[in-house]
Amino acid sequence: MDLKKRLIFSNAAIIVIPLVITFVASFIFMFVFARIHDVDISYNNVKKLTQIQYEFFKADGSVLKNSPEIILEKDYQEYISTRLDSIEADIVVLKGQERVFETRSIGPIELERCLQKTGDNLFNNIVEIQGETYMVKVIPVNFKNGESGKIVLLAPAMNDWMTTEKLLIFSIMIFVTSFTITNVVIIFTFSKKVINPLRKLQAAAGKISQGNLDFEIIEDGDAQIRELCRSFEKMRLKLVEASYTQKKYDDSRKVLFSSISHDLKTPITSIKGYVEGILDGVANTPQKVDKYLKTVHSKAVHMDRMIDDLLLYSRLDMNKVSFNIEKTDVLKYFEDCIYEIDIELEKSNIKIALYDQLKGKRYIMIDRDQIRRVIINIIDNSRKYMDKEQGKIDIFLREATSHVVIELKDNGAGISESDLPYIFDRFYRADSARDTMNGSGLGLAIAKQIIEGHGGKIWAVSRKGEGTSVMISLKKYED
Ligand SMILES: Nc1ncnc2c1ncn2[C@@H]1O[C@H](COP(=O)(O)OP(=O)(O)OP(=O)(O)O)[C@@H](O)[C@H]1O
Ligand SMILES: [Mg+2]
């Protein structure tokens, strides 16, 4: 249920339900007890007395009132007796102090009590006669001989127990009880649907604030509370994800530090060793000194390159490298690249060839220097990890709907299935490469950063022993 609807419903129910219960219970109470005690309820009694009055003073042309002597006639007395009997009423007629006619014998004290009830409000004209309650109506009359008299009409009324106060007390008790029960029920459902779920959320928030995210927030309660639970659960999942990412980031930072330290330590250690060799006189001939110095120099160059790569990688990682994007003809660009490295590759006995399979558009938007760095690294890898007598690098330029796909395929050592998913990770080097070749394992990680920085994709397909294809997909230039 909607929270707003629940509030409206609860507020209305708190008043309406006790009122309805009180009304129904009072009615049943009156009805049942009237039956049990065989008494008529007041409305009927009032009706009866009104009826008698009408019978005697209106319908009969006010015969009794105008000529009360008629009551002394036997026929009229019989007529009245039957009429009154049919409505269970009685009459006493007084001429002066003398009773001239009565359908029920009443004691003098009781009659006196009746005669005192001269008011018009019948509810106040209640008299007990021989253990029964009656409503009394006293009508003054004048006889023809000038004598005054009184006609006393009696109709059975409620018993004593059924007074207005008692009914009122009963109704109040019923109202208070039903009001309390309704309140308890409403508070109970309100707790179940609103307060309890909110308490659970409060506990969940407490756990989250203490860094405990290992639990689930279950939806419960009214619509808005369920929504709140859902948002809380979403927030918890986001926090779990964030803490996982943070942990991964921390772990990878640790790996980064240890990799950097390790990769820098190796050349530094050998530089130290060679320099000590010279200082200690181990290199005791000019040729040896020259050899040692050349080794120190090459290690220093390697370190220098590694630090450059590292700086570039971290600048790319922090998005601090701004690309100088230019509209570029893919075919011409690759022809130029190949021209630059062709001679170098020939020295390593590697043949490079370019296959243009482009059909329509051949322009891409790239930072030419950065993409050149990527191409050089991939071709440099093909050269470094070439194990065939005659090396081969084929570059295919192909076209997809919105992209140009460049494949750089070699016939080198290939990459094992277990290494393949990681070669674009920073510092990752297959064991074989680690053993034999110089490098820091940053080349492909940098390539990935640069290509993704251009909105493109880079991936590799390889078979161990057969060769490797590195694929680059870059968005075509749209006019
Ligand atoms: N064409 C290839 N043939 C075989 N193995 C390859 C090839 N290209 C990459 N690899 C494997 O992937 C790893 C990662 O390549 P990457 O270029 O990132 O690092 P690197 O060449 O070892 O070092 P760096 O490029 O920093 O000098 C390499 O160490 C090698 O094991
Ligand atoms: Mg490399």
Q: Is 439 in the pocket of ligand 1 (CB under 6 A)?
A: yes
- Neighbouring CB atoms inside 10 A of 386's CB total 21
Strand (E) positions, 323-371?
Answer: 326-329, 350-356, 363-366
pLDDT in tens, 266-320: 889 999 999 999 999 998 899 999 999 999 999 999 889 888 988 898 889 888 8
- How far CA 135 is from CA of 47, 59, 113, in Å, comes to 11, 22, 12
Q: Is residue 10 included in any domain, yes or no? A: no
Domain of residue 272, CATH code: 1.10.287.130
Q: Is 413 in the pocket of ligand 1 (CB under 6 A)?
A: yes
Q: Which of 38, 28, 32 is nearest to 159 (CA)?
A: 38
Measured CA to CA, the distance from residue 186 to residue 459 in angstroms comes to 64
Domain that holds residue 202: 197-255
Q: Is residue 399 included in any domain, yes or no? A: yes
The pLDDT of residue 107: 87
Do 343 and 384 lie in a common domain? yes
Q: Is residue 79 included in any domain, yes or no? A: yes
Domain of residue 464, CATH code: 3.30.565.10
Do 401 and 457 lie in a common domain? yes
Q: Decide which of 317, 339, 354 is a domain's last residue.
A: 317
Mean pLDDT throughout 207-233?
89
User: In the chain, how many domains are there?
Assistant: 4
Mean pLDDT: which of 193-197, 342-346, 391-395, 436-440 is highest?
391-395
Question: Which atom, in ligand 1's list, is nearest to the CA of 441?
Answer: 19
Measured CA to CA, the distance from residue 384 to residue 394 in angstroms comes to 16
The pLDDT of residue 363: 92
The pLDDT of residue 147: 86
Do 407 and 470 lie in a common domain? yes
Q: Is residue 421 included in any domain, yes or no? A: yes
Measured CA to CA, the distance from residue 426 to residue 406 in angstroms comes to 23
| 76 alpha carbon, distance to own chain's centre | 87
Do 133 and 233 lie in a common domain? no
Q: Decide which of 317, 346, 368 is a domain's last residue.
A: 317
Q: Is 35 exposed, middle or buried (0-12, 13-18, 19+ CB in 10 A)?
A: exposed
Q: Is residue 398 included in any domain, yes or no? A: yes
Domain of residue 228, CATH code: 1.10.8
Q: Is 213 in the pocket of ligand 1 (CB under 6 A)?
A: no
DSSP state, residue 321: P
Q: Is 391 in the pocket of ligand 1 (CB under 6 A)?
A: no
Q: Is residue 293 included in any domain, yes or no? A: yes
Do 331 and 458 lie in a common domain? yes
Assess whether pLDDT exceeds 70 at residue 436.
no
Q: Is residue 184 included in any domain, yes or no? A: no
Do 290 and 336 lie in a common domain? no
Do 67 and 120 lie in a common domain? yes
pLDDT in tens, 90-131: 888 888 888 888 988 888 888 888 888 877 666 677 788 887
Q: Is 467 in the pocket of ligand 1 (CB under 6 A)?
A: no
| Residue of 381, 385, 386, 468 to mutate, ligand 1, most atoms within 8 A of C-beta | 381
State the DSSP string of 185-239: HHHHHHIIIIIHHHHHHHHHHHHHHTT---S-----SSHHHHHHHHHHHHHHHHH
Q: Is 422 in the pocket of ligand 1 (CB under 6 A)?
A: no
Domain of residue 122, CATH code: 3.30.450
Do 311 and 389 lie in a common domain? no
Q: Is 217 exposed, middle or buried (0-12, 13-18, 19+ CB in 10 A)?
A: buried
The pLDDT of residue 56: 52
Mean pLDDT throughout 247-262?
82
Tell me the one-letter amino acid at 476: K
Share of the chain above pLDDT 70, in %: 90
- Neighbouring CB atoms inside 10 A of 238's CB total 11
Do 131 and 207 lie in a common domain? no
pLDDT in tens, 141-167: 888 888 888 888 887 765 545 566 778
Q: Do 299 and 315 contact (CB within 8 A), yes or no? A: no
Residue nearest to atom 31 of ligand 1 (CA): 430
The pLDDT of residue 60: 44
Q: Decide which of 300, 317, 334 is a domain's last residue.
A: 317
Q: Is residue 50 included in any domain, yes or no? A: yes
Q: How far is the CA of 306 from the centre of ligand 1 (A)?
A: 14
Residue nearest to atom 1 of ligand 1 (CA): 382
Residue 390's pLDDT band, with cuts at 50, 70 and 90, is very high
The pLDDT of residue 236: 92
Q: Is 444 in the pocket of ligand 1 (CB under 6 A)?
A: yes
**What φ, ψ does residue 220 adopt, rounded to 5°?**
-155, 155
Do 234 and 280 lie in a common domain? no
More confident residue, 40 or 187: 187
Do 145 and 230 lie in a common domain? no
Question: Which atom, in ligand 1's list, is nearest to the CA of 467?
Answer: 3
Do 215 and 148 lie in a common domain? no
The pLDDT of residue 46: 57
